[in-house]
Amino acid sequence: MLQELVASLPLSMILSGLVSATMGPQLRRPFVSVPVRQLLFDGSPVPALKSLLRLPGTGAILDGLCGRGLCGSPRDLERLKNGRFPSMMYNNSLDGPYTIDTGKNDIDRFTRVESYKGKSSLDYWGSSYCNMLNGTDGITYPPHMERKDRIFIFNKDLCRSIYLDYERDVEYFGISTRRYVPARAVLEDPAVNPDNKCFCAPEDHCLRAGALSLSPCQFGAPIVASTPHFYNGDPSYLEAVDGLAPDKRYHETFIDIEPLTGLALNGGKKIQINIDLERFGSLDGMERLPPVLFPVMYTNETAVVNSALAAEFRDRLQRPLSLVAAARWLLVALGSALLLLAGLMYLRRHSHPTTKAGQCPLQ
């Protein structure tokens, strides 16, 4: 009964009730410091949570929450029951399943995501445009890319597809690659790029440039993804928080692709996670918080080819290809030489009889 009741309540109501009950006194300070490891993997201990969970009925609340997919794996549930608040317990977790195109019928579709979690489009957003599953998962790309080509990536952390455009050529250990960076239009203010209107959540609360609400795919939590330090974002987000200094060198997402093979030789995926702070008059200690996008952390996922792999790439692919190219010209040269020789020999054999024959009647 209680379980059904919990399942029918708005999540924010359950959570704020749970939070006030367990952390009321702690909330006089709205911020708590936790080690990164606890934030990312272990969950942060909330002493009151354990005693709360011993009260009758709270087991049912927990099961109600878990019924909404909030608890993650059984191991996460175990942690919750041990009084650790599940923050982002992504260690050893699985994502997907993804269905990927092999490129057998159309090489341009190589490793494209055809479906995610059994569906060929997303269902987080308000329109079919925003729900499109576009491109690959960002690890592999189709071969034979042109500079003018736009790269589409489905990014499950952002719960949407994004696109990147060519910026410039970059070389690694003698291999030339092309750098692609996200087009500004991707996270542009919906007032400037109306395509992005369907990413407003709720519909009448659009964020400005550089930010994307993740609440539709995070159980309604006020989580906002952005570029680190609001790089390329709306200046008002930057000015609202002290200590930020956006810098293209560090805070821009990029990918360097070898065009012939579509292999990514260097890449950095950078996402900042923010909390969309609101003034909760009803919670002690929260009534003076300004409504800002409060940065919690940013991730820097990078991968770069090392010199050994680059050498292997050159030996196995670039050298044979340049040998083929060289051999081609060699064969063309040889063929032309033989043709020329044949022509000369023909001329030599036929020139004497014809001149003689031509001279005969004159003599």
Stretch that binds ligand NAG, among 7-15, 129-137, 253-261, 308-316 (CB under 6 A): 129-137
Q: What is the torsional sign of CA 109, 123, 64, 276?
A: positive
Indicate which single residue of 7, 77, 132, 244 sits in contact with ligand NAG (rule: CB under 6 A).
132
CB of 59 to ligand NAG, least distance (A): 26
CB of 294 to ligand NAG, least distance (A): 20
Q: Please tell me whether residue 302 binds ligand NAG under the rule CB under 6 A.
A: yes
Q: Half-sphere exposure of residue 303, counting CA atoms within 13 Å on the CB side?
A: 10
CA distance 161 to 124: 12
268 near 249, Cβ under 8 Å? no
Q: Please tell me whether residue 123 binds ligand NAG under the rule CB under 6 A.
A: no
Q: Please tell me whether residue 363 binds ligand NAG under the rule CB under 6 A.
A: no
- Does residue 219 come out as left (phi exceeding 0), alpha (psi in the -120 to 50 range) or beta? left
CB of 123 to ligand NAG, least distance (A): 14
- One character per residue 67-96, x = contact with ligand NAG (rule: CB under 6 A): ------------------------xx----
Contacts of 103 (CB under 8 A, 6+ apart): 109, 110, 111, 142
297 near 272, Cβ under 8 Å? yes
Q: Got the DSSP string for 57-74?
A: THHHHHHHHHHTT-S-SH
CB of 261 to ligand NAG, least distance (A): 22
Q: Which of 28, 21, 25, 7 is nearest to 52 (CA)?
A: 21
CB of 240 to ligand NAG, least distance (A): 21
Q: Please tell me whether residue 128 binds ligand NAG under the rule CB under 6 A.
A: no
CB of 189 to ligand NAG, least distance (A): 16
Q: What is the torsional sign of CA 235, 240, 242, 244?
A: negative
Indicate which single residue of 38, 41, 121, 140 sits in contact with ligand NAG (rule: CB under 6 A).
41
CA distance 228 to 139: 21
Identity of the amino acid at 169: D
Stretch that binds ligand NAG, among 59-67, 105-113, 130-138, 252-260 (CB under 6 A): 130-138
Considering only residues 246 to 265 of the shown chain, the ones binding ligand NAG according to CB under 6 A are 250
Can you tell me whether residue 95 is helix, strand or coil? coil
Using the minimum distance from each CB to ligand NAG, give the nearer residue, 65 or 212. Answer: 212
Q: Nearest residue by C-beta to ligand NAG?
A: 250
Q: Please tell me whether residue 134 binds ligand NAG under the rule CB under 6 A.
A: yes
Quickly count: other Cβ atoms within 10 Å of residue 359's Cβ.
Answer: 9
Q: Got the DSSP string for 200-254?
A: -SSTT----TTEEE-GGGTTT--EEEE-GGGTTS-HHHHHTSTT----HHHH--E
Stretch that binds ligand NAG, among 23-31, 58-66, 114-122, 127-135 (CB under 6 A): 127-135
Stretch that binds ligand NAG, among 45-53, 105-113, 128-136, 173-181 (CB under 6 A): 128-136
Using the minimum distance from each CB to ligand NAG, give the nearer residue, 289 or 309. Answer: 309
- One character per residue 265-284, x = contact with ligand NAG (rule: CB under 6 A): ---x----------------
Q: DSSP assignment, residue 124?
A: S
Q: Which spans of this chain sit near ligand NAG (rule: CB under 6 A)?
A: 41, 91-92, 129-130, 132, 134, 152, 161, 163, 250, 268, 300, 302
